[in-house]
A and B are shown apart, each in its own frame.
Chain A
């Protein structure tokens, strides 16, 4: 079970990739299989990559649209 779970509100993501480049673990990527109503590929983290999340919140700091939520799994 990953220590942290990071969820992206894919519907509202604009695919700007600021979270992608700011993640020190490099585990965020735009999901090519998904396209939201606005035509963007939303950012996401695969289940297996989620294991490497250290909860540093770099992604939420850079996200202009506040679409990321981080939960700590005790």
Chain B
């Protein structure tokens, strides 16, 4: 007799994901599906897709879903959650979508304490469009629009979104995690599950930033890219909880 220890969770479709080999998106998609399933919300979730590599999310999840305008997912999710307060509503956004064109939308949704959850994938680059510099690209990091490496004197310095949003009163939970190692993936799952649980309890706006990799546009192998996350990304984007309404007894 044998018992299943692990298999692909419900909530993911059978469609083969288009993400590059070793891309962090696939890991986070799976963690979302696991958490939603464990919370019994697989039939009760709506996910908002960004413009970016994850624009094809509707093909990968069995949840109701909508493709939003670039950067505007937090506004669209605001509309959806206000109409369906009983549904779990998620936005899934990359760093171009959220930290560049969509900064106003994420800041104001957080400030209003909109009761949905945002999963923010920070891989320091624009993936879908072929590797341009993003607001999260590290100083010195090459991209197709910082070909000699990002120069802070010209292109400024990267934005730490968690710290920025943590100054607001609206958010109930903000944590930054990473997917470069099994231990960090376990922590990422815990963070996503906590954020979704707090949404279930209507606690307010919950936000998880996932530091991830982009092997293709970083010009590294999948495994080397995860090493880059560990050695270069995480030092600039420290992991941890930046806001937890439940801890602050607010």
Contacts of B242 in A (CB 8 A): none
Residues on B close to A: CB < 8 A? 1-9, 12, 16-17, 19-27, 30, 179, 181-182, 185-186, 215, 221-223, 226
Which residue in A57, A60, A72 is a CB contact (below 8 Å) of B3? Answer: A72
Given contacts A17-B221, A66-B8, A66-B9, 12 further A-B contacts (CB under 8 A): A14-B22, A17-B223, A18-B222, A56-B182, A61-B182, A64-B17, A64-B19, A66-B12, A69-B7, A69-B8, A71-B3, A72-B5
Of residues 47 through 74 on chain A, the ones whose CB sits less than 8 Å from some CB of chain B are: 55-58, 60-74
Residue pairs across A and B with CB atoms within 8 Å: the count is 86
Contact A18 B226 (CB under 8 A): yes
Which residue in A15, A61, A67, A74 is a CB contact (below 8 Å) of B185? Answer: A61
* Size category, A interface: 20 to 34
Q: Which residue of A lies closest to B19 (CB)?
A: A64
Q: Which residue of B lies closest to A74 (CB)?
A: B1
Q: Kindly state the separation between the CA atoms of A72 and B3 in the bound complex, as whole angstroms.
A: 5
Q: Which residue of A lies closest to B23 (CB)?
A: A64
Contact B3 A65 (CB under 8 A): no
Contacts of B221 in A (CB 8 A): 17
Contact A66 B26 (CB under 8 A): yes
Contact A57 B223 (CB under 8 A): no
Q: Kindly state the separation between the CA atoms of A69 and B186 in the bound complex, as whole angstroms.
A: 17
Q: Kindly state the separation between the CA atoms of A68 and B19 in the bound complex, as whole angstroms.
A: 17
Q: Which residue of A lies closest to B5 (CB)?
A: A70
Contact A16 B22 (CB under 8 A): yes
Contacts of B2 in A (CB 8 A): 5, 71-74
